[in-house]
Chain A
Amino acid sequence: MQLSWLDLSIIIFYFIFVLSVGWYLKKFTKTGKDFFLAGRECTSWVAGLSFLAANMGALELLGWSASAYQYGIIATHWYWIGAIPAMLFLGIFMMPFYHVSKTHSVPGFLKLRYNEPTRLLSAVSFSVMTLLASGISMYSMGLVLATMLGWDFNTCIILSAGTVAVYVAFAGLKSAIFTEIIQFFLIWCGALLIPIIGLVEIGGWDNLVAMVSQRTAEMGKTGEFMHLWSSMGRYSDNPMGLHWLGIVLGLGWVVSFGYWTTDFLVVQRVLAAKDMRSAKMAPIIASFFKMAIPFIVILPGLIGIAVLPELKPADSGTFSLNSYNAVLPLLIKRYFAPGLLGLGVTALIAGFMSGMAGNISAFATVWTYDIYRSVIYKKGTDRSYLNMGRICTVVGIIISIGSAYLVMQFASIMDYMQALFSFFIAPLFGTIFLGMFWRKATDWGGFWGLLTGTCSSISMFLLLKFNLIEGKWLAFSNDASAMAQNMWRAWWAWCITIIITVIVSKFGKPKSDEELVGLVYGITKFEKESSYSLFHRPSFWACISLVAFLILNIIFF
Chain B
Amino acid sequence: MPEKKQGSSDKVVGGNVDITRRTFLHKSLLTGGAIATGSAVGFFQTLSSMEVANAAGESFSFAWVSDTHLYPQTLNQRFIDKATRAFGEVQAMGSEFDFMIFGGDLAQRGDPVELELGAELLKEVTIQKHFIPGEHDWYLDLGEAWNQHFGESPWSFEHKGVLIIGLDTVGSAPDYWSARGMTPKERMGHMEALDGSQAGPWSGLGSKNRQWLSSALSDWPKDAPVIIFSHTPLWECYAPWNFWIRDWRQVHEIIAPWQNITNVHGHVHQPLYNEIGGMRSIGMLATSWPWPYAPQGVPEITKPMLRVDPGDHFDGVGWGKLSMADGYMDNEYMMWREQVFGTTRADSGTGDNQNQVLSPRIADRGWTGD
A, B from the same assembly: no
